[in-house]
Amino acid sequence: MRRAADIAGSIPQQIQGVADAAFGRDVAAWQREHGRHTLPWQNTRDAYAIWVSEIMLQQTQVTTVVPYYERFMKRFPDVLALANAAPDDVLAHWSGLGYYSRARHLHRAAIAIRDLHGGRFPDTVEAVESLPGIGRSTAAAIVVFSRGTRHAILDGNVKRLLARYCAIPGYPGDAKTAAKLWEAAERLLPHDDVEAYTQGLMDLGATICVRSRPRCDACPVRAGCAAFREGLVDVLPSPRPRKPLPHKSIVMLILEHDGAVLLEKRPAPGIWGGLWSFPEAAASDDIAAVCAERYGADVAHGERMADVEHGFTHYTLTISPQRLHVRAIELRAGEAQRVWLPLAEVTDAAIPAPVRRIVDLVNAQSRADE
């Protein structure tokens, strides 16, 4: 079996040019017949609707995005509705979708469109890319679908597809490899049917040229695929270089008082920035002293709940939830970043997924104790 590095660039230029033209034509034809056509953000020229979907789809599967997208668009039907919304409202409608910086960037970009573009979504790919949270590929996709103009895209799924089709070795997150993938994306971009072609790349990457067990038998471009021809499908693209992820542990304090629990707003930037979460402490802390000093709460130690594991891109986290009964509390002024909420209302707030899981566990325990 030959290595990807051995065959890259070995195809004669004349033959490669014919294959490039066939690639664009075959992808567009496949998309029209077999691609996705009924997703809620399709069949529209509304740049705002397309933009929201593209941001939500970053690092998140379509099946997960659809219900969030529909709820988000119902609450924020246009860019001005989003720009004029409170940050907490935006985060609440994003809660559970993860990667919350996307929601903060979305809100900041909507404000920029309102204040700098008169509330009208920009027309050019350069102007779109200048907005917060929008990179080169996302800007291109928005303009292709809303304006029908010709631009290359390179999202995660497309990187995998092109790495295989062109036998480009290396981890796609590496700058040199990414540059080669962009060169391929620009070279393969057809002059016609750009919208069908762009959607076809996305659909192929999401449904056919998947990470594990790709469906090469159903791929419309396998005849020109170097990885398929050379038996390299299972080794391309090259995986992320493995490094052991650091591990962190925290205790989350579930202070319960008169049917309500205490939540704190997390600072931005940072993990879960702008979201509401339970107070935290280190495992070595004196929990009673922490509650008294920080929150003026006299607590009785309650039940230690099962640990909750959560993974981030750069580390893993073990959360040890501790239920605490508040016997008495000292009222304090100027605590805008803290709120007592009835337990039944916590899931309506902008909370991260692990906190939502803990709330569900607390509710289940409370029902079992009744």
- Spatial distance between the Cα atoms of 130 and 112, rounded to a whole number of angstroms: 10
Element containing residue 318 per DSSP (H, E): strand 316-329
Q: Does residue 303 carry a catalytic annotation?
A: no
Residue 317 contacts residue 311 (beta carbons within 8 Å): yes
- Spatial distance between the Cα atoms of 45 and 333, rounded to a whole number of angstroms: 50
Beta carbons within 8 Å of 111's beta carbon, 6+ residues apart: 83
- Report the C-alpha dihedral over residues 7, 157, 199, 45, rounded to 10 degrees: -140
364 burial (CB, 10 Å; 0-12 / 13-18 / 19+) is exposed
**Backbone angles phi and psi of 241, in degrees to 5:** -55, 130
Block residue for tokens 């080669």: 180
- Spatial distance between the Cα atoms of 26 and 278, rounded to a whole number of angstroms: 52
Residue 252 contacts residue 280 (beta carbons within 8 Å): yes
Q: For the chain, report the end-to-end CA distance as a whole number of angstroms.
A: 65
CB atoms within 10 A of CB 61: 9
- Report the C-alpha dihedral over residues 52, 54, 59, 61, rounded to 10 degrees: 90
Taking alpha carbons only, the member of 178, 187, 182 closest to residue 237 is: 178
* Residue of 54, 70, 195, 370 with catalytic role: 54
- Going by their DSSP bridges, the two strands 316-329 and 247-257 should be labelled as parallel
Beta carbons within 8 Å of 33's beta carbon, 6+ residues apart: none
Catalytic residue ranges: 54
